[in-house]
Amino acid sequence: MKNCLRCNKEFKPKRKEQKYCKTYCSNARSFTYDMVGKTFGQLTVVAISTERKRTREIRWLCKCKCGQLTVVSGRNLRSGAVKSCGCVGRQKTRLRNWRHGFTHTRFYTIYRGIRERCEYPQAHNYNWYGGKGIKCMWRTFAEFKRDMYKSYLEHIRLFGAKNTTINRLDPDYHYCKENCEWATWQEQLATIIQNRKKDGTYGKSLRIHRQFATLGLITTLEV
């Protein structure tokens, strides 16, 4: 029994001078290029691999910097076509698709609610906000976070996230930093606002359990 000079497998030679176990082992010139210990990008070659594809090219077992083992052809290693086990590409994809990291938080839900009731006629409470000309002056979530996140953290520290809502100081003005503050549900319910009637006069309304009682017009609470 002998060990193949290319794949290091044991084989029974048919003649004394036979050094390779198969024909493609003896025809592989790239085997003479020993890459064990060399580094290509994130990959360090550990050993030659016995894994073969239809092309029968030599493949190398490599260890990535992330700790993952992978098998790569020598041609792809030398050309730079493969530089990692795939972790670099996955990281780039995550960074490319990453926006702000607040998607499933209450803070983002509040911002999305503001945009919906001010900009989307399909929203159930659009008539009381966008329909009355109320606008969201924060064009992006980054602007909203810059102006309101610090005060939001302070409010939830004192009252909790579920008891934190956004409130406009002037109910006839837009959503912006100067006109908005954080308020509890109790403060929202106790707020007395003025609503303009169709005849041009104003009537006062009291917020009671997510809707206004009839001292003026009926609308919903700002969440």
pLDDT at 50: 78
Residue 136's domain spans which residues? 106-212
Residue pair 166/155 in contact (Cβ under 8 Å)? The answer is no
Same domain (yes/no): 115, 62 = no
Same domain (yes/no): 21, 49 = yes
Report the predicted TM-score, pTM, of the whole model to 2 decimal places: 0.48
Mean pLDDT in the chain?
78
155-169 pLDDT, tens per residue?
999 999 889 999 998
pLDDT at 188: 78
Phi first, then psi: give them for residue 157, nearest 5 degrees.
-65, -35
pLDDT at 49: 83
Same domain (yes/no): 41, 114 = no
Asked whether residue 95 is domain-assigned, the answer is: no
Task: Give Cβ neighbours of residue 103 (< 8 Å, ≥ 6 apart).
Answer: none
46-96 pLDDT, tens per residue?
988 877 776 667 888 999 999 899 999 888 888 889 999 988 888 877 766
113-124 pLDDT, tens per residue?
999 999 999 988
Same domain (yes/no): 146, 175 = yes
Same domain (yes/no): 44, 111 = no
Alpha-carbon distance of 152 to 163, in angstroms, equals: 11
Domain boundary among 86, 114, 140: 86
Same domain (yes/no): 75, 114 = no
The amino acid present at 66, given as its one-letter code, is C
pLDDT at 5: 61
Task: Give Cβ neighbours of residue 57 (< 8 Å, ≥ 6 apart).
Answer: 28, 30, 73, 74, 75
First to last CA, the chain: 79
Question: DSSP for 60-84?
Answer: EEEEETTS-EEEEEHHHHHHTS--S
